[in-house]
Structure 1
Amino acid sequence: SLRGAVKKACRFRPGTVALREIRCFQKSTELLIRKLPFQHLVREIAQDYKSNLHFRSAALLTLQGASEAYLVSLFEDTNLAAIHAKRITIVPKDI
């Protein structure tokens, strides 16, 4: 072996790391959307139905958890539809 030789980094095939990250995020239960922007969105949508609504912090966290769980489920199904069509990239018709 040569002195001072640097070992070449292991390179994964395209998409391997992305799939690993997807599995990791699907398993995690932590919230991925930032809390404040989500809170602003909920309040903005609620304004359309009734003004001066107040939300408990636990209610907002519950809404966020349910929303993220729904989105994960939606994108899982979307990804399966793309794979079934022999595509890697998801398109709007997969949803």
Structure 2
Amino acid sequence: MVPGVKALQEIRHLQRTTELLIPRIAFQRVVRDVTDKAYMRGPRNNWMQVALKRCVGIAGHEMCIFPSRDPLSEFRFQEAAEVYLTCMFEDCNLAAIHARRVTIMPKDMHLVRRLRGESTMMT
């Protein structure tokens, strides 16, 4: 079998599906952990507050990260996060291809975020 055929088949399959890829419970745990840390005082957690505000903006409303945890809001938030990440990785892949590489690197992510006008600083 030619190298990469299985990977390409998996990519095509995932591109055709619409279900969420991140397990719901694991996603909720990460969101809860990030929100708990984001609301702690201090400059170290500033990037979390910015990320949280950006996700709220993507979803279009305040959702499951706040006291009312309604399942539809949780679904919308997870869907918005997965769409954002998918688009980010697609653009990072294009940046890597432009640099004549097949592997994305942190510098690709920094470039994409800078071109989008997003902050690249994590603190």
- How far does residue 85 in structure 1 lie from its aligned partner after superposition? 0.9
Which residue does 1:39 correspond to in 2?
Answer: 28
In structure 1, distance between residues paired with 2:14 and 2:21? 9
Larger Rg: 1
**Aligned Cα RMSD in Å?**
2.0
Higher helix share: 2
Displaced runs of 4 or more, over 4 A: none
Q: CA deviation at 1:55?
A: 1.0
Return 5+ residue gaps in structure 2 as ranges.
41-65, 110-123
2:9 corresponding residue in structure 1: 20
> 1:82, 1:90 within 8 Å by CA — same for their partners in 2?
yes
2:83 corresponds to 1:69: yes
Percent identity, aligned pairs only, is 47
Structure 2 length normalisation: TM-score?
A: 0.59
Q: Distance in 1 between matches of 2:5 and 2:106?
A: 23
Q: Does 1:49 align with 2:63?
A: no
- CA deviation digits over 1:4-62, x for unaligned, max 9? xxxxxxx12x2233233223223321101000011112222333439x82310111111
With the length of structure 1 as denominator, give the TM-score of the two structures: 0.74
The residue aligned with 1:8 is: none
Aligned residues: 83
1:26 and 1:71 mapped to 2: Cα distance? Answer: 14
Q: Which runs of 5+ in 1 are unaligned?
A: 1-10
